Amino acid sequence: MMTVDTVEKSGSGGTISAFAPAKINMTLHVTGRQADGYHCLDSLVMFADVGDTVSVRHSDETTLTITGPMSAGVPTGDDNLALRAAKLMNTTAEISLDKHLPLAGGIGGGSSDAAATLRALSQLTGAQIPVDVLALGADAPVCVIGTGAARMQGIGKDVTNAPGLPVLHAVLVNPMKPVMTADVFQRLTKRNNPPMPDTLPTNADAATLMAWLSEMRNDLQDAAIEAEPAIQQVFSTLQVTPGCLLTRMSGSGGTCFGLYADAETAASAAGRLQESHPGWWVAATRLNAH
C-alpha cells in the first residue's frame, strides 16, 4: 500500500497517484464557538494505513471518475472536494478517485481526498499547494500534512505536528449509516469544554499513550449517538472484543475505533466483527505508522 506522502508516476501520460488516509480523531474537545458560528476544537489526529487513492493526469478540462467499493453516493458535482481542490490549484486535470472509506464517517474521507488531490496536482504541475486550504473543509489543513500525528486547534487551520508518539493498532468500525456533522453540532448541549493539556505526551510507548488517551474525550460522542443510535451498538460490540483496551468515536461519527496491544489481536477482533456484523465497514489498521 502507498504511504501517505507517496506519489507514483506511470505510463506515457504521466499519471500521478497519492494515498488519502483515513483521519482519526484520537481526541476531540469542543472548546468554544465563534461569533460566526464556527466551533473551536482541540484534537489529536492520527492517520491510518487504510484509505482512498487519488490519481491525476494532464487534461485540457477537469473530469472526475469515481470507482471503488464506497463509490456509491459520492458527490460528482461542484461540491466534490477533489474537484474543488483542482479549482483551488487553478489547474485542470483528469482525476480518478478509488473510494474505500465510508461517506460521512467522521474520518475525513472527503478532506483527505482533497488533500491527496492537492499533493498529486502539485507533483503533476510543479505548483505549490496553497497555504490556506480551509475552503476545502475544517479537516483539510491537517489532512494536507497527512502523515504521523498532529494537533488540530481552533476552527481547523491551526495545525502542529505531534512527534514522539508510537504506532497504535486499531480496528475501525462504521455501521454504514451516514452521520451529518451539522446535525451532531446542533444536538451539542455544551460548547465550552476544557482543551487538552498544553503539552502532549512525547516519547511515550503505546501503553502510556493509551492511558493518557483514556483521560481525554470526544465531546461530540453523545450528540452523535443521539443522532444515530447505531453508534452505541458499535461501541457495545467493540468493547467486548477480546483484547480491546480503549474505544472512542472519531470526529462527528459514526466511525468508532478500538485500540489493541498488537496487530494480531486487532486482526482477530476485526475478523470477529466482520463475521458477526457483515453489514458494517470494518478495517484493522495501524495508526501513526508513517
- Here the CATH number for the domain that contains residue 34 is 3.30.230.10
d(CA 244, CA 33): 34
* pLDDT of residue 87 exceeding 80: yes
CB distance 246 to 217 below 8 Å? no
pLDDT at 13: 54
How far apart (Å, rounded) are the C-alpha atoms in residues 229 and 162? 33
- Mean per-residue pLDDT of the chain: 94
Residues spanned by the domain of 62? 7-158
The residue with cell 487519488 is 54
Model pLDDT for residues 195-245, shown as the tens digit of each residue: 999 999 989 999 999 999 999 999 999 999 999 999 999 999 999 999 999
User: Helix 263-276 vs helix 230-239: angle between axes, to the nearest 10 degrees?
Assistant: 130
Q: Average pLDDT for residues 18-31, to the nearest whole number?
A: 98
Whether the full predicted model's pTM is greater than 0.85, yes or no, is yes
CA nearest 144: which of 179, 175, 169, 120? 120
- Pick from 165, 239, 156: which is nearest to 199 by CA? 165
**Within this chain, do residues 35 and 144 fall inside the same structural domain, yes or no?**
yes
Q: What is the spatial distance between Cα 102 and Cα 51, in angstroms, rounded to a whole number? A: 10
- Residue 246 belongs to a domain: yes
Mean pLDDT, to the nearest integer, of 257-283?
A: 98
Q: What's the confidence (pLDDT) of residue 290?
A: 79
pLDDT at 1 over 80: no
Q: How confident is the model at residue 95 (pLDDT cuts 50, 70, 90)?
A: very high
- pLDDT 10s digits, 175-186: 999 999 999 999
Q: Which of 23, 42, 52, 177 is catalytic?
A: 23
Over residues 144-167, the pLDDT tens digits come to: 988 889 999 999 999 999 999 999
Residue 189: how many other CB atoms lie within 10 Å: 8
- For residue 178, give the CATH number of its domain: 3.30.70.890
Give the model's confidence band at 259: pLDDT under 50 very low, under 70 low, under 90 confident, else very high. very high
The number of domains in the chain is: 2
Average pLDDT (36-48) is 96
The residue among 146, 113, 117, 112 whose CA lies nearest residue 129 is 117
96 shares a domain with 69: yes
Instruction: Kindly name the residue from 98, 139, 177, 219 that is annotated as catalytic.
Output: 139
In the predicted model, what is the mean pLDDT of residues 111-129?
Answer: 97
Q: Is 190 annotated as catalytic?
A: no
Q: Chain centroid to CA 175: how far?
A: 16
- For 44, the enclosing helix (H) or strand (E) is strand 39-58
Residues 141 and 169 in one domain: no
Distances (CA, A) of 89 to 93, 97, 115, 122: 10, 17, 11, 8
Quick one: 136 and 177 in the same domain? no
Q: Active site includes 60?
A: no
> Are 139 and 23 found together in one domain?
yes
pLDDT above 70 covers a percentage of the chain that reads: 96
